[in-house]
């Protein structure tokens, strides 16, 4: 059900012409997966993972400001 709602919202916003802002945010699932794997599964926090999370957040912020 959650996937259905997410896809509906994604296509609804794309129809509104916000492609340059929506697609990068939708592609941030890597960030969410990394955070959930650390919190829920107790995976190790490595330097590469921290850098990836920081770059993902920075990219989202930069895109939202444009």
Q: Domain limits of the chain?
A: 2-65
pTM above 0.95, yes or no: no
Q: What is the pLDDT of residues 38-52, one digit of tens each?
A: 899 999 989 998 898
Give the residue-averaged pLDDT of 13-35.
Answer: 80
Among 31, 25, 1, CA closest to 13: 25
Please report, rounded to a whole number, the percentage of residues in the chain having pLDDT higher than 70: 98
Q: What sign does the CA torsion over 6, 11, 15, 17 have?
A: positive
């Amino acid at each position: 059900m959650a996937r259905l709602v997410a896809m509906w919202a994604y296509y609804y916003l794309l129809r509104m012409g916000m492609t340059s802002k929506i697609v990068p945010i939708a592609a941030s699932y890597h960030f969410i997966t990394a955070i959930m794997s650390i919190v829920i599964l107790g995976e190790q926090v490595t330097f590469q993972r921290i850098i990836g999370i920081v770059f993902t957040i920075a990219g989202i912020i930069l895109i939202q400001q444009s």
